[in-house]
Structure 1
Protein backbone atom coordinates (compact mmCIF):
# COMPACT_ATOMS: atom_id res chain seq x y z
CA UNK A 1 0.00 0.00 0.00
CA UNK A 2 2.40 2.69 -1.25
CA UNK A 3 -0.47 5.16 -0.97
CA UNK A 4 -0.06 5.22 2.82
CA UNK A 5 3.51 6.46 2.51
CA UNK A 6 2.35 9.18 0.11
CA UNK A 7 -0.43 10.27 2.48
CA UNK A 8 1.98 10.51 5.40
CA UNK A 9 4.37 12.54 3.24
CA UNK A 10 1.55 14.84 2.10
CA UNK A 11 0.53 15.45 5.72
CA UNK A 12 4.12 16.25 6.70
CA UNK A 13 4.62 18.54 3.70
CA UNK A 14 1.62 20.61 4.83
CA UNK A 15 3.30 21.37 8.17
CA UNK A 16 5.10 24.66 8.70
CA UNK A 17 8.74 24.37 9.77
CA UNK A 18 8.01 24.92 13.48
CA UNK A 19 5.08 22.45 13.30
CA UNK A 20 7.34 19.86 11.67
CA UNK A 21 9.88 20.30 14.48
CA UNK A 22 7.08 19.88 17.06
CA UNK A 23 5.82 16.80 15.21
CA UNK A 24 9.26 15.16 15.42
CA UNK A 25 9.54 15.99 19.13
CA UNK A 26 6.10 14.54 19.90
CA UNK A 27 6.75 11.45 17.75
CA UNK A 28 9.96 10.78 19.68
CA UNK A 29 8.10 10.89 23.00
CA UNK A 30 4.85 9.22 21.90
CA UNK A 31 3.50 6.16 23.74
CA UNK A 32 3.76 3.51 21.01
CA UNK A 33 1.88 0.25 20.66
CA UNK A 34 3.51 -2.74 22.33
CA UNK A 35 6.30 -4.19 20.22
CA UNK A 36 7.26 -0.94 18.51
CA UNK A 37 10.24 1.22 19.44
CA UNK A 38 10.78 4.94 18.85
CA UNK A 39 12.95 6.18 16.01
CA UNK A 40 16.35 7.03 17.55
CA UNK A 41 16.54 10.73 18.49
CA UNK A 42 19.82 11.29 16.62
CA UNK A 43 18.38 10.01 13.35
CA UNK A 44 15.02 11.71 13.82
CA UNK A 45 16.37 15.21 14.38
CA UNK A 46 18.20 15.33 11.04
CA UNK A 47 15.40 13.86 8.88
CA UNK A 48 13.51 15.86 6.31
CA UNK A 49 9.86 15.15 5.44
CA UNK A 50 10.62 12.51 2.78
CA UNK A 51 13.09 10.65 5.01
CA UNK A 52 10.73 10.76 7.97
CA UNK A 53 7.73 9.44 6.01
CA UNK A 54 9.92 6.54 4.77
CA UNK A 55 11.19 5.86 8.30
CA UNK A 56 7.68 5.90 9.78
CA UNK A 57 6.60 3.27 7.25
CA UNK A 58 9.75 1.18 7.79
CA UNK A 59 9.47 1.24 11.59
CA UNK A 60 5.71 1.09 12.05
CA UNK A 61 4.39 -0.32 8.73
CA UNK A 62 1.96 1.71 6.66
CA UNK A 63 -1.27 1.04 8.54
CA UNK A 64 0.01 1.83 12.02
CA UNK A 65 2.30 4.52 10.57
CA UNK A 66 -0.75 6.41 9.24
CA UNK A 67 -2.62 5.97 12.53
CA UNK A 68 0.38 7.12 14.55
CA UNK A 69 0.97 10.16 12.35
CA UNK A 70 -2.73 11.05 12.64
CA UNK A 71 -2.67 10.70 16.45
CA UNK A 72 0.32 13.03 16.74
CA UNK A 73 -1.24 15.56 14.35
CA UNK A 74 -4.52 15.49 16.32
CA UNK A 75 -2.58 16.08 19.51
CA UNK A 76 -1.01 19.14 17.84
CA UNK A 77 -4.45 20.43 16.82
CA UNK A 78 -3.92 19.80 13.09
CA UNK A 79 -7.29 18.17 12.58
CA UNK A 80 -7.82 18.22 8.79
CA UNK A 81 -4.66 16.22 7.94
CA UNK A 82 -5.21 13.87 10.89
CA UNK A 83 -8.78 13.02 9.89
CA UNK A 84 -7.74 12.38 6.27
CA UNK A 85 -5.03 9.97 7.45
CA UNK A 86 -7.37 8.19 9.87
CA UNK A 87 -9.96 7.65 7.13
CA UNK A 88 -7.29 6.37 4.73
CA UNK A 89 -5.92 3.99 7.39
CA UNK A 90 -9.44 2.66 8.10
CA UNK A 91 -10.26 2.10 4.44
CA UNK A 92 -6.86 0.48 3.86
CA UNK A 93 -7.31 -1.93 6.77
CA UNK A 94 -10.80 -2.82 5.52
CA UNK A 95 -9.40 -3.37 2.03
CA UNK A 96 -6.54 -5.48 3.39
CA UNK A 97 -8.97 -7.59 5.38
CA UNK A 98 -11.06 -8.23 2.27
CA UNK A 99 -7.95 -8.90 0.21
CA UNK A 100 -6.56 -11.27 2.84
CA UNK A 101 -9.79 -13.25 2.82
CA UNK A 102 -9.73 -13.51 -0.97
CA UNK A 103 -6.08 -14.50 -1.35
CA UNK A 104 -5.79 -16.95 1.50
CA UNK A 105 -9.05 -18.57 2.36
CA UNK A 106 -7.14 -21.28 4.20
CA UNK A 107 -4.73 -18.89 5.94
CA UNK A 108 -6.69 -18.82 9.22
CA UNK A 109 -8.61 -21.56 10.95
CA UNK A 110 -11.96 -21.12 12.64
CA UNK A 111 -10.08 -20.48 15.89
CA UNK A 112 -8.26 -17.59 14.22
CA UNK A 113 -4.86 -19.29 14.12
CA UNK A 114 -2.97 -18.29 10.98
CA UNK A 115 -1.37 -20.87 8.66
CA UNK A 116 2.15 -19.63 9.42
CA UNK A 117 1.52 -19.91 13.17
CA UNK A 118 -0.13 -23.33 12.93
CA UNK A 119 2.75 -24.77 10.86
CA UNK A 120 5.59 -22.93 12.63
CA UNK A 121 7.70 -26.01 13.42
CA UNK A 122 7.35 -27.50 9.92
CA UNK A 123 8.14 -24.19 8.25
CA UNK A 124 11.22 -23.62 10.43
CA UNK A 125 12.54 -27.12 9.74
CA UNK A 126 11.52 -27.59 6.11
CA UNK A 127 11.72 -24.26 4.22
CA UNK A 128 14.59 -24.59 1.75
CA UNK A 129 14.36 -21.30 -0.18
CA UNK A 130 14.33 -18.25 2.07
CA UNK A 131 16.35 -15.45 0.42
CA UNK A 132 13.66 -14.45 -2.13
CA UNK A 133 11.02 -14.66 0.63
CA UNK A 134 12.98 -12.19 2.75
CA UNK A 135 13.51 -9.96 -0.28
CA UNK A 136 9.74 -9.80 -0.84
CA UNK A 137 9.10 -8.95 2.82
CA UNK A 138 11.81 -6.27 2.96
CA UNK A 139 10.30 -2.77 2.97
CA UNK A 140 6.75 -4.11 3.28
CA UNK A 141 6.94 -6.05 6.54
CA UNK A 142 10.60 -6.10 7.53
CA UNK A 143 12.66 -2.99 8.18
CA UNK A 144 16.34 -2.89 7.22
CA UNK A 145 17.63 -3.75 10.70
CA UNK A 146 15.35 -6.80 10.95
CA UNK A 147 16.26 -7.95 7.44
CA UNK A 148 20.00 -7.66 8.20
CA UNK A 149 19.62 -9.46 11.55
CA UNK A 150 17.85 -12.39 9.89
CA UNK A 151 20.36 -12.58 7.03
CA UNK A 152 23.26 -12.64 9.54
CA UNK A 153 22.12 -16.04 10.86
CA UNK A 154 24.16 -18.96 9.52
CA UNK A 155 21.46 -21.47 8.54
CA UNK A 156 17.98 -21.25 7.04
CA UNK A 157 16.52 -22.78 10.23
CA UNK A 158 18.15 -20.08 12.38
CA UNK A 159 16.99 -17.41 9.94
CA UNK A 160 13.42 -18.76 10.15
CA UNK A 161 13.54 -18.77 13.96
CA UNK A 162 14.73 -15.16 13.95
CA UNK A 163 11.99 -14.22 11.45
CA UNK A 164 9.41 -15.75 13.79
CA UNK A 165 10.63 -13.55 16.66
CA UNK A 166 9.80 -10.46 14.57
CA UNK A 167 6.51 -12.00 13.48
CA UNK A 168 5.07 -11.63 17.00
CA UNK A 169 4.16 -8.02 16.13
CA UNK A 170 2.55 -8.84 12.76
CA UNK A 171 -1.13 -8.71 11.96
CA UNK A 172 -2.80 -11.21 9.61
CA UNK A 173 -2.15 -9.01 6.55
CA UNK A 174 1.61 -9.21 7.22
CA UNK A 175 1.39 -12.96 7.78
CA UNK A 176 -0.54 -13.27 4.52
CA UNK A 177 2.34 -11.55 2.68
CA UNK A 178 4.74 -14.04 4.24
CA UNK A 179 2.50 -16.96 3.23
CA UNK A 180 2.24 -15.69 -0.36
CA UNK A 181 6.04 -15.35 -0.56
CA UNK A 182 6.42 -18.89 0.82
CA UNK A 183 3.83 -20.18 -1.65
CA UNK A 184 5.81 -18.67 -4.56
CA UNK A 185 9.20 -19.96 -3.45
CA UNK A 186 8.37 -23.20 -1.59
CA UNK A 187 5.16 -24.25 -3.38
CA UNK A 188 5.29 -28.00 -2.72
CA UNK A 189 5.87 -27.57 1.01
CA UNK A 190 3.00 -25.09 1.39
CA UNK A 191 0.69 -27.30 -0.68
CA UNK A 192 1.53 -30.33 1.48
CA UNK A 193 0.97 -28.40 4.71
CA UNK A 194 -2.35 -26.98 3.47
CA UNK A 195 -3.60 -30.54 2.97
CA UNK A 196 -2.55 -31.67 6.44
Structure 2
Protein backbone atom coordinates (compact mmCIF):
# COMPACT_ATOMS: atom_id res chain seq x y z
CA UNK A 1 0.00 0.00 0.00
CA UNK A 2 1.25 3.49 -0.77
CA UNK A 3 2.65 5.57 2.07
CA UNK A 4 0.76 8.37 3.77
CA UNK A 5 2.38 11.14 1.74
CA UNK A 6 1.57 9.42 -1.57
CA UNK A 7 -2.05 8.86 -0.54
CA UNK A 8 -2.50 12.49 0.54
CA UNK A 9 -1.00 13.68 -2.75
CA UNK A 10 -3.25 11.33 -4.74
CA UNK A 11 -6.37 12.70 -3.05
CA UNK A 12 -5.36 16.35 -3.51
CA UNK A 13 -4.52 15.83 -7.19
CA UNK A 14 -8.06 14.53 -7.75
CA UNK A 15 -9.49 17.94 -6.80
CA UNK A 16 -10.43 20.79 -9.09
CA UNK A 17 -8.98 24.24 -8.41
CA UNK A 18 -12.13 25.34 -6.60
CA UNK A 19 -12.20 22.15 -4.52
CA UNK A 20 -8.55 22.59 -3.57
CA UNK A 21 -9.32 26.09 -2.31
CA UNK A 22 -12.16 24.71 -0.19
CA UNK A 23 -9.85 22.06 1.25
CA UNK A 24 -7.33 24.76 2.19
CA UNK A 25 -10.07 26.65 3.99
CA UNK A 26 -11.07 23.47 5.81
CA UNK A 27 -7.45 22.82 6.81
CA UNK A 28 -7.38 26.22 8.48
CA UNK A 29 -10.03 24.99 10.94
CA UNK A 30 -9.19 22.86 14.02
CA UNK A 31 -8.17 19.31 13.02
CA UNK A 32 -9.85 16.11 14.27
CA UNK A 33 -9.64 16.00 18.04
CA UNK A 34 -10.03 19.76 18.45
CA UNK A 35 -7.98 21.04 21.35
CA UNK A 36 -6.96 17.56 22.49
CA UNK A 37 -3.26 18.39 22.59
CA UNK A 38 -2.37 17.59 18.97
CA UNK A 39 -1.00 20.03 16.39
CA UNK A 40 -3.18 23.00 15.51
CA UNK A 41 -4.30 23.96 12.00
CA UNK A 42 -1.81 24.92 9.30
CA UNK A 43 -1.54 28.73 9.14
CA UNK A 44 -3.46 30.14 6.19
CA UNK A 45 -0.47 32.12 4.93
CA UNK A 46 1.60 28.97 4.44
CA UNK A 47 -1.06 27.51 2.14
CA UNK A 48 -1.47 30.54 -0.12
CA UNK A 49 -0.30 29.72 -3.64
CA UNK A 50 0.28 26.04 -2.79
CA UNK A 51 -0.65 23.48 -5.42
CA UNK A 52 -1.52 19.86 -4.62
CA UNK A 53 2.13 18.82 -4.31
CA UNK A 54 3.02 21.79 -2.10
CA UNK A 55 -0.02 21.16 0.09
CA UNK A 56 0.79 17.46 0.51
CA UNK A 57 4.26 18.41 1.78
CA UNK A 58 2.78 20.99 4.15
CA UNK A 59 0.23 18.54 5.58
CA UNK A 60 2.69 15.70 6.16
CA UNK A 61 5.41 18.03 7.42
CA UNK A 62 3.00 19.64 9.90
CA UNK A 63 1.08 16.58 11.13
CA UNK A 64 3.13 13.51 10.21
CA UNK A 65 1.91 10.86 7.79
CA UNK A 66 -0.63 8.98 9.93
CA UNK A 67 -2.40 11.96 11.43
CA UNK A 68 -1.94 13.88 8.17
CA UNK A 69 -4.11 11.27 6.45
CA UNK A 70 -6.85 11.80 9.02
CA UNK A 71 -6.67 15.59 8.80
CA UNK A 72 -6.83 15.45 5.00
CA UNK A 73 -9.83 13.11 5.14
CA UNK A 74 -11.61 15.48 7.53
CA UNK A 75 -10.92 18.44 5.23
CA UNK A 76 -12.24 16.48 2.26
CA UNK A 77 -15.45 15.69 4.12
CA UNK A 78 -15.89 19.34 5.03
CA UNK A 79 -15.40 20.17 1.33
CA UNK A 80 -18.12 17.76 0.17
CA UNK A 81 -15.66 15.18 -1.21
CA UNK A 82 -16.63 12.33 1.09
CA UNK A 83 -15.83 9.86 -1.70
CA UNK A 84 -12.17 10.84 -1.67
CA UNK A 85 -12.11 10.95 2.13
CA UNK A 86 -13.36 7.37 2.42
CA UNK A 87 -10.99 6.16 -0.30
CA UNK A 88 -8.11 7.91 1.48
CA UNK A 89 -8.57 6.34 4.92
CA UNK A 90 -9.84 2.96 3.71
CA UNK A 91 -10.79 0.83 6.69
CA UNK A 92 -9.59 3.30 9.30
CA UNK A 93 -12.13 4.88 11.68
CA UNK A 94 -13.90 7.71 9.86
CA UNK A 95 -13.29 10.43 12.45
CA UNK A 96 -10.39 9.39 14.67
CA UNK A 97 -8.66 11.74 17.08
CA UNK A 98 -4.97 11.75 18.07
CA UNK A 99 -4.07 10.88 21.65
CA UNK A 100 -3.86 14.04 23.71
CA UNK A 101 -0.24 13.40 24.67
CA UNK A 102 0.93 11.89 21.38
CA UNK A 103 0.35 14.19 18.39
CA UNK A 104 3.05 12.54 16.27
CA UNK A 105 2.31 9.59 14.02
CA UNK A 106 2.95 6.42 16.02
CA UNK A 107 2.69 4.02 13.09
CA UNK A 108 6.07 5.02 11.62
CA UNK A 109 9.26 6.64 12.92
CA UNK A 110 9.51 10.39 12.36
CA UNK A 111 11.41 11.50 9.26
CA UNK A 112 15.05 12.60 9.72
CA UNK A 113 15.44 16.31 10.58
CA UNK A 114 16.81 17.26 7.16
CA UNK A 115 13.87 15.63 5.37
CA UNK A 116 11.38 17.26 7.72
CA UNK A 117 13.01 20.65 7.10
CA UNK A 118 12.67 20.26 3.31
CA UNK A 119 9.01 19.22 3.63
CA UNK A 120 8.21 22.11 5.95
CA UNK A 121 9.88 24.81 3.85
CA UNK A 122 9.23 23.43 0.36
CA UNK A 123 7.04 26.32 -0.75
CA UNK A 124 9.46 29.00 0.46
CA UNK A 125 12.40 27.21 -1.14
CA UNK A 126 10.51 27.06 -4.43
CA UNK A 127 9.80 30.78 -4.28
CA UNK A 128 13.17 32.06 -3.09
CA UNK A 129 15.99 29.83 -4.37
CA UNK A 130 17.17 31.18 -7.72
CA UNK A 131 20.64 29.68 -8.25
CA UNK A 132 19.33 26.26 -9.18
CA UNK A 133 22.13 25.42 -11.62
CA UNK A 134 24.85 25.45 -8.95
CA UNK A 135 22.58 23.46 -6.66
CA UNK A 136 22.11 20.82 -9.34
CA UNK A 137 25.88 20.64 -9.90
CA UNK A 138 26.41 19.92 -6.21
CA UNK A 139 23.73 17.23 -6.07
CA UNK A 140 25.05 15.54 -9.21
CA UNK A 141 28.62 15.56 -7.86
CA UNK A 142 27.33 14.06 -4.60
CA UNK A 143 25.49 11.37 -6.61
CA UNK A 144 22.11 12.41 -5.25
CA UNK A 145 20.86 13.06 -8.79
CA UNK A 146 21.77 11.35 -12.03
CA UNK A 147 22.88 13.25 -15.12
CA UNK A 148 19.49 12.53 -16.68
CA UNK A 149 17.69 13.79 -13.60
CA UNK A 150 19.70 17.01 -13.63
CA UNK A 151 18.89 17.57 -17.30
CA UNK A 152 15.17 17.08 -16.68
CA UNK A 153 15.15 19.64 -13.87
CA UNK A 154 17.34 22.12 -15.78
CA UNK A 155 15.01 22.00 -18.80
CA UNK A 156 12.34 23.98 -16.93
CA UNK A 157 11.95 27.57 -18.11
CA UNK A 158 12.00 29.44 -14.79
CA UNK A 159 13.95 29.09 -11.51
CA UNK A 160 10.70 28.43 -9.65
CA UNK A 161 9.72 25.61 -11.98
CA UNK A 162 13.24 24.15 -11.77
CA UNK A 163 13.04 24.14 -7.97
CA UNK A 164 9.56 22.63 -8.14
CA UNK A 165 10.86 19.81 -10.33
CA UNK A 166 13.91 19.32 -8.12
CA UNK A 167 11.88 19.09 -4.91
CA UNK A 168 9.47 16.68 -6.57
CA UNK A 169 12.39 14.21 -6.63
CA UNK A 170 13.04 14.60 -2.88
CA UNK A 171 11.20 11.40 -1.81
CA UNK A 172 13.94 9.40 -3.58
CA UNK A 173 16.91 11.20 -2.00
CA UNK A 174 17.16 9.35 1.29
CA UNK A 175 18.73 10.77 4.41
CA UNK A 176 22.14 11.51 2.87
CA UNK A 177 20.57 13.21 -0.13
CA UNK A 178 18.55 15.57 2.04
CA UNK A 179 21.65 16.41 4.06
CA UNK A 180 23.63 17.09 0.88
CA UNK A 181 20.80 19.33 -0.35
CA UNK A 182 20.89 21.43 2.83
CA UNK A 183 24.69 21.49 2.78
CA UNK A 184 24.54 22.97 -0.73
CA UNK A 185 21.89 25.49 0.28
CA UNK A 186 24.04 26.69 3.17
CA UNK A 187 26.94 27.28 0.78
CA UNK A 188 24.90 28.93 -1.97
CA UNK A 189 22.17 30.72 0.00
CA UNK A 190 23.56 31.33 3.50
CA UNK A 191 21.24 34.23 4.37
CA UNK A 192 18.12 32.32 3.38
CA UNK A 193 19.22 29.26 5.33
CA UNK A 194 20.08 31.36 8.37
CA UNK A 195 16.55 32.75 8.26
CA UNK A 196 14.85 29.37 7.79
CA UNK A 197 16.97 27.50 10.30
CA UNK A 198 16.58 30.20 12.94
CA UNK A 199 13.47 28.56 14.35
CA UNK A 200 14.47 24.95 13.68
CA UNK A 201 16.08 22.38 15.96
CA UNK A 202 18.08 20.40 13.43
CA UNK A 203 20.52 17.83 14.76
CA UNK A 204 22.46 15.68 12.33
CA UNK A 205 26.02 15.12 11.29
CA UNK A 206 26.92 16.83 8.05
CA UNK A 207 27.93 14.39 5.31
CA UNK A 208 31.62 14.00 4.72
CA UNK A 209 32.98 16.42 2.10
Please give the range of the TM-score, normalised by the shorter of the 2 chains. Answer: 0.3 to 0.5
Q: TM-score, normalised by structure 2?
A: 0.44
User: Which protein is richer in helix relative to its size?
Assistant: 1
Choose 1 or 2 for highest CA Rg: 1
